[in-house]
Chain A
Amino acid sequence: MFQLVVVMLTLSVLGFGGGNAIWPQLYTDAVEQYHWVSAVDFSKYFALARLAPGPGTTFSALLGYAVGGLGGAIVAALAMFLPASLIVLGISTVYDRFHDHPWRPVIARAMIPVVLGLTWVGITFLSRGALDTPVTYAIALVAGAIIMWTNLNVALVILGAGVFGAIVFR
């Protein structure tokens, strides 16, 4: 349990860049270093966390569950969420303090193409897991079009696709 907290705290603080950068390190720690779960279970949990709602880093709770049941899950989630959020609070406070600094709009503007580039890269990575058959491509296309051109609640679109998937992929 102590190791669990240390690993999650470290990744929480060092996991800059939206969480996706921490998975390789988490795998090394959870599977190879401390043997909390097998490699197969790790990828199974990972897929589940990817598909489940809520932030992807909630995945840490599943590893915590494997180590120490429900208590482990809560501890792992807290150790993952809290430190990072407090750092976010600090960063944004500093950022707001420089609100009128002449460099702020320059940096904010310069970040845009870099971040949009990363966003598109993230989509190509995610598509490897989500798109495999023509049907999945069709679902993505239809859902994307609905989300882009209508005001329909996104959750409804995705849950609808879930019901559709439950029928056609079974």
Chain B
Amino acid sequence: MSAVIDDIAQPDASTHATLLDIALIFGVISATAFGGSSIVMMRRELILRRKWMSEREFLEIYTLAQVCPGGLPISIAVLCGKRLAGIPGFFVALVAETVPGFVVLMSLALLSFDPHMTVLRAGLRGAAAAALGGLVANAIQMSYPFRTKIVDLTLMALVGLSVTLLHFALWSVFLVFLPISIALVRLLKET
């Protein structure tokens, strides 16, 4: 299989993730990933900083997580945990990704009954805007290897239009576009 994605960073085989590493990384992300930035953080942490995974491996996990039930960050975390340290890694990542976020959200919810809520809400607005900027940066970096692939760009645009204009539900997006995409991959021998 030839590399479709020009890996920005190659994984470094000399470093290994321990269960403690997994607990710390996903625990910190769970507690600090304001405004849905957890996937941005995971990608940076695992690929760019620690070099435990290639861009391609992460994209594969990201894609697999899309067809799994449950929250995307949780699925990605547990799949990364499993890839890095097997079944124990899976469960450590599950706990680390969910418990701190739960604690912080409950604390925020209780705090928001406080009269100081305006400050909190104002801060959260700034954080949400920054988080969105991070999501865009992430999406640009993930899409970048495909910038010259007309077929991929067309399919991405059609998926976008089907959801925004025609209000396709998620399962219908996969039902319609996955067979088309598979046929094109086979036809163009793009693996």
Contacts and interface: CB of A to CB of B under 8 A. Distances in A.
Q: Do A and B belong to a common assembly? A: yes
Secondary structure at the B interface, as helix, strand, loop or mixed, is helix
Contact of B139 (A48, A119, A145): A119
Interface string A111-126: 1111111111111101
Interface string A122-164: 1110110111000111011111110110010011011111111
Nearest to B145: A112
B17 interface: no
A61 B68 CA distance: 21
A118 B66 contact: yes
B152 A154 contact: no
A154 B44 contact: yes
**What is the size category of the interface that chain B forms with chain A?**
35 or more
A57 B70 CA distance: 8
Interface in A39-86: 45, 48-59, 61-62, 65, 70, 73, 77, 80-81, 83-85
**What is the size category of the interface that chain A forms with chain B?**
35 or more
Interface of B: 1, 4, 28-38, 40-41, 44, 48-49, 59-60, 62-75, 78-79, 82, 87, 90, 94, 97-98, 100-102, 104-106, 108-109, 112, 118-143, 146, 151-153, 155-160, 163-164, 169-171, 173-174, 177-178, 181-182, 184-186, 190-191
